[in-house]
Amino acid sequence: MSGLDADALAREFHVAGGDGTPAYLRIKRLVSARIRTGEWDAGDRLPSEHQLVAALGVSRMTVNRALRELADSGAIVRTSGVGSFVAAAKAASPLLEVRNIADEVERRGHRHRTRLVSLAAEDADGSPFVTGAAAGDGAGAGAADDRVHRSVIVHFEDETPIQLEDRIVNPALVPGYLEQDFTSSTPNDYLSRIAPLTRAELTVEAVLPTEAEAALLGVETAEPCLLIRRHTWSRDGLVSIVRLLQPGTRSRLEGGFDASGAD
């Protein structure tokens, strides 16, 4: 039988059937439990709907609902005409903090590496991220000059691209930016040492990647992505404006706050 063992799932399904839980929910729980414990790993192919209907003795509508809701929650990925697969674990990025992505990846026990797409000076007016408001909002000398420094980098977790970073930097505050080796360190690591941030603002939205962005990230242009736009300041002014694009199937944002000590 192709895919994972539907018969083993059927045995547990029938054992768990005595508490009145709807059949579709039992299927979801059993599949989710196998994924959570690692018995079914990322990329593993699930039994087909036909196999599950035959093994569990339920309707196709019941199986379809269970798999559809598992896909909606991000636990599995369904490909028409191919089958259902355990989804890759999503990389979690902090929403309320500015962290080094290399540290995040290594904290998850994986290897971080970068691919440098470009690193150069360019006209400030030609940058897609410089706006009149951003350039004039406490930017400090040089932020609105004719030239800015720009880097485009793809970040990998093991061999999977997880983030496209497109960053412009104020050359007056970070004059040595273009001399850095961003294949051995990250812009975040360098900037945090040279111009420690004192303030940050960000926006997050869901977008579709351009063809060029999709090619760099190894995704289809129809795959929704998380787009994070972030401005960071040091005590001397606006240091960096960055556009971070992350495939929606490979990432999530998380954050929180504790108001227990508030007056």
Predicted local distance difference test score (pLDDT) of residue 20:
73
Computed over every residue of the chain, the mean pLDDT equals 80
Q: Are residues 231 and 115 in the same domain?
A: yes
Helix, strand, or coil here: 42? Answer: coil
Given a contact cutoff of 8 angstroms between Cβ atoms, the answer to whether 112 and 105 are in contact is yes
Predicted local distance difference test score (pLDDT) of residue 137:
44
**pLDDT higher than threshold 70 for residue 172:** yes
Predicted local distance difference test score (pLDDT) of residue 126:
56
Question: Would 140 be classed as within a structural domain?
Answer: yes
Q: Are residues 79 and 194 in the same domain?
A: no
CA distances from 162 to 31, 52, 85, 150, 195 (A): 26, 33, 19, 20, 26
Rounded to whole angstroms, how far apart are CA atoms 181 and 208? 30
Say how many C-beta atoms besides its own lie within 10 A of residue 9's C-beta.
22
Q: Are residues 76 and 100 in the same domain?
A: no
**pLDDT higher than threshold 50 for residue 138:** no
Predicted local distance difference test score (pLDDT) of residue 252:
57
For residue 133, name the pLDDT band (cuts at 50, 70, 90).
Answer: very low
Higher-scoring residue by pLDDT: 186, 12:
186
Q: Are residues 119 and 249 in the same domain?
A: yes
Rounded to whole angstroms, how far apart are CA atoms 229 and 245? 9
Question: Would 260 be classed as within a structural domain?
Answer: no
Q: What angle separates helix 6-15 from helix 23-37, to the nearest 10 degrees?
A: 120
Q: Are residues 114 and 196 in the same domain?
A: yes
Q: 101, 97, 86, 107: which is closest to 42 by C-alpha? A: 86
- Max Cα distance, the chain (Å): 72
Find the CATH number of the domain harbouring 121.
3.40.1410.10
Predicted local distance difference test score (pLDDT) of residue 16:
65
What are the backbone dihedrals phi and psi of residue 153, each rounded to the nearest 5 degrees, phi first?
A: -135, 140
pTM comes to 0.59
Find the CATH number of the domain harbouring 20.
1.10.10.10
**pLDDT higher than threshold 70 for residue 21:** yes
Predicted local distance difference test score (pLDDT) of residue 144:
44
Question: Would 119 be classed as within a structural domain?
Answer: yes
Q: Are residues 185 and 219 in the same domain?
A: yes
Rounded to whole angstroms, how far apart are CA atoms 51 and 57? 10
Question: Would 261 be classed as within a structural domain?
Answer: no
Q: Are residues 139 and 242 in the same domain?
A: yes
Question: Would 155 be classed as within a structural domain?
Answer: yes
- Both tokens of 87, joined, read 């989804």
Q: Are residues 103 and 233 in the same domain?
A: yes
Q: In this predicted model, what pLDDT tens digit does every residue of 41-67 receive, in sequence order?
A: 888 888 888 989 988 889 999 999 999
Residues 6+ apart with CB under 8 A from 203: 228, 229
47: domain range? 6-86
Domain count, the chain: 2
Q: In this predicted model, what pLDDT tens digit does every residue of 100-126 receive, in sequence order?
A: 788 888 877 888 999 999 999 988 775
Q: Where is the domain boundary, 86, 116, 142?
A: 86
Q: Are residues 65 and 100 in the same domain?
A: no
Question: Would 263 be classed as within a structural domain?
Answer: no
Q: Where is the domain boundary, 86, 106, 133?
A: 86
Q: Where is the domain boundary, 52, 86, 120?
A: 86
Question: Would 108 be classed as within a structural domain?
Answer: yes
Q: In this predicted model, what pLDDT tens digit does every residue of 214-248 receive, in sequence order?
A: 999 998 999 899 999 999 999 888 999 999 999 88
Q: Are residues 72 and 115 in the same domain?
A: no
Residue whose pair of structure tokens reads 């926006």 in the numeric block = 203
Q: Are residues 23 and 139 in the same domain?
A: no
Predicted local distance difference test score (pLDDT) of residue 253:
56
Q: 243, 220, 219, 109: which is closest to 162 by C-alpha? A: 219
> Which percentage of the chain shows pLDDT scores above 90?
33
Let me know if 238 is exposed, middle or buried by CB neighbors in 10 A (0-12, 13-18, 19+): buried
Higher-scoring residue by pLDDT: 5, 92:
5
Predicted local distance difference test score (pLDDT) of residue 98:
56
Residue whose pair of structure tokens reads 């945090």 in the numeric block = 192
Question: Would 262 be classed as within a structural domain?
Answer: no
Q: Are residues 120 and 208 in the same domain?
A: yes
Higher-scoring residue by pLDDT: 39, 212:
212
**pLDDT higher than threshold 70 for residue 141:** no
Predicted local distance difference test score (pLDDT) of residue 35:
84
